[in-house]
Structure 1
Amino acid sequence: MSDTNVIAQIEQQIAQLQNKAVKKNTGTIRAVADGVATIDGLSDVMYNEMVRFPGGAIGIALNLGETEVGTIVLGDISQLKEGDEVQTTGRLLSVPVGKALLGRVVDALGNPVDGKGPLDARETYPVERIAPGIIARKSVSQALFTGIMAIDSMIPIGRGQRELIIGDRGTGKTAIAIDTIINQAKINKIGLASGDPKFRPVYSIYVAVGQKNSNIVRTISTLEAAGALEYTIIVAAPAADNPANQYIAPYAGAAMGEWFMENDMDALIVYDDLSKHAVAYRQICLILKRPSGREAYPGDVFYLHSRLLERAARLAGKGSLTALPIVETQAGDVSAYIPTNIISITDGQIFLETDLFNQGTRPAVSVGLSVSRVGSAAQIKATKQVGGKLKGELAQFRELAAFAQFGSDLDARTKAQLDRGSRIVELFKQPAAAPIPIEQQVVTLWAMQKGYYDDLELKAVAPAAASLRQFFTARQTALLEEIRIQAKLDDAIEAKLKTATDEWKATQPKAGKPAAAPAA
Structure 2
Amino acid sequence: MDPRATAEAALDRLRAAVASMEVAPSVREIGRVISAGDGIARIAGLPGTQAQELLRFESGIMGIAFNLDETEVGCVLLGENTDVSAGDTVERSGTVVRTPVGKELIGRVIDPLGAPLDGGPAIAPETHFPVERPAPPILARSPVTHPMATGIKSIDGMIPIGRGQRELIIGDRSTGKTTIALNTILNQTDGDVICVYVAIGQRASTAARVVEVLREGGAMAYTVVVVADADSPPGMQFIAPYVGCAISEFFAEQGHSTLVVYDDLSKHAETYREISLLLRRPPGREAYPGDIFYLHSRLLERAAQWDDAHGGGSQTALPIVETQAQNISAYIPTNLISITDGQICMDPDLFQSGFLPAVDIGLSVSRVGGKTQIPAMKKRAQAARLAFTQFIELEAFAKFGTALDPGTERQLAKGRRLRELLKQAAVDPVPLAEQVLILQVADSDTLLDIDANDVRPFEERFRAACRDRLGDLLEQIAQGGDVEGDAVSRVESVAQKVVQSMERAQSSSEGVGEGAKAAANAEGPHSDG
**Shift in alpha-carbon separation, 1:414–1:165, aligned structure 2, 3 A:** same
Q: TM-score, normalization: structure 1?
A: 0.91
How far residue 447 of structure 1 moved from its aligned partner, in angstroms, is 1.3
| Counterpart position of 2:33 | 29
- Rounded to whole Å, the distance in 2 between the matches of 1:475 and 1:507 is 16
Measured at CA, do residues 11 and 128 of structure 1 come closer, stay the same or move farther in structure 2, by a change above 3 Å? Answer: farther
User: Deviations for 1:477-504, whole angstroms, at most 9, x for unmatched residues?
Assistant: 3332232224422435334434443443
Give, in whole Å, the separation in 2 of the partners of 1:379 and 1:69. 51
- Which string of whole-angstrom CA distances, capped at 9 and with x for unpartnered residues, describes residues 51-78 of structure 1? 1111221111111111111111112331
Q: 1:361 Cα deviation (Å)?
A: 0.2
Deviation at 1:121, TM superposition (A): 1.2
**Aligned equivalents of 1:354, 1:109: Cα separation in 2:** 36
2:145 and 2:448 mapped to 1: Cα distance? 34
Residue 501 (structure 1) aligned with residue 492 (structure 2): no
Deviation at 1:476, TM superposition (A): 3.3
**Displacement of 1:379 after TM fit?**
0.8
The alpha-carbon deviation at position 507 of structure 1 amounts to: 2.7
Whether contact under 8 Å (2:103, 2:126) holds in the other structure is no
| 1:82 lines up with 2:86 in the alignment | yes
* CA radius of gyration, larger in: 2
TM-score normalised by L of structure 2: 0.89
State whether structure 2 residue 249 is matched by structure 1 residue 255.
no
Shift of 1:230: 1.1
What does residue 207 of structure 2 align with? Answer: 216
Of residues 116, 120, 126, the one that matches 2:124 is 120
Q: Which residue of 1 aligns with 2:511?
A: none
Superposed, 1:460-475 pairs within 5 Å as 460-475=454-469
Match of 1:381 among 361, 375, 398: 375
Question: Matched residue pairs, number?
Answer: 493
Query: Which residue number in structure 2 is paired with residue 160 of structure 1?
Result: 164
Q: Does 1:362 align with 2:353?
A: no
Is the counterpart of residue 66 in structure 1 residue 70 in structure 2?
A: yes
Cα shift readout 1:284-305 (whole Å, capped 9, x = no counterpart): 0000000000111101101000
Equivalent position of 1:455 in the other structure: 449
Query: Do 2:199 and 2:264's aligned partners in 1 also have CA atoms closer than 8 Å?
Result: yes
Q: Does 1:437 align with 2:431?
A: yes
Q: 1:278 aligns with which of 261, 269, 277?
A: 269
Task: Say which is worse superposed, 443-452 or 407-416, in terms of deviation.
Answer: 407-416
**Equivalent position of 1:130 in the other structure:** 134
Q: Which residue of 1 aligns with 2:510?
A: none
Deviates more, 1:475-484 or 1:305-314: 475-484
Among candidates 266, 271, 279, match of residue 288 of structure 1: 279
Residue 198 of structure 1 is matched in structure 2 by none
Structure 1 window deviating more from structure 2 (350-359 vs 495-504): it is: 495-504
Aligned to 1:454, the other structure's residue is in SS state helix
Tell me if the contact between 1:385 and 1:489 (Cα under 8 Å) persists in the aligned partners: no
2:100/2:128 contact within 8 Å kept: yes
Match status 1:396 vs 2:390: yes
Per-residue deviation, 1:414: 2.4
**Is the 2:167–2:343 contact (alpha carbons within 8 Å) kept by the matching residues of 1?**
yes
- CA RMSD, Structure 1 to Structure 2 (Å): 2.1
1:421 counterpart = 2:415: yes
Match of 1:412 in 2: 406
Contact 2:384–2:439 under 8 Å retained in 1? no
1:152-184 CA-partner distances (Å, limit 9, x unpaired): 000000000000000000000000000000001
* Superposition deviation, residue 454 in structure 1: 1.6
Paired residue for 2:517?
Answer: none
Q: 2:155 aligns with which of 151, 154, 158?
A: 151
Task: In structure 1, list runs of 5 or more residues that go unmatched.
Answer: 189-200, 513-520
Superposed CA deviations along residues 232-252 of structure 1, whole A, max 9, x for unmatched, are 000000000011111100000
1:395 Cα deviation (Å)?
1.4
Higher mean alpha-carbon deviation, 494-503 vs 83-92, is at 494-503
Residues in 2 aligned to 1:336 and 1:153: alpha-carbon distance in whole angstroms? 28
Partner of 1:240: 231
**Residues in 1 aligned to 2:46 and 2:392: alpha-carbon distance in whole angstroms:** 62
- For 1:329, the equivalent position in structure 2 comes to 323
- CA deviations on 1:67-122 (whole Å, 9 max, x unpaired) are 11111111233111001010111111110112211100011112211111011311
Counterpart in 2 of 1:515? none
Q: What is the aligned partner in structure 2 of residue 267 from structure 1?
A: 258
* Counterpart Cα distance in 2 of 1:139 and 1:20: 52
Who is 1:305 aligned against? Answer: 296
CA distance in 2, matches of 1:400, 1:334: 26
Distance of 2:444 and 2:151 partners within structure 1: 22
Check the 8 A contact 1:96/1:110 in 2, yes or no.
yes
- Conserved 8 A contact 1:275-1:338: yes
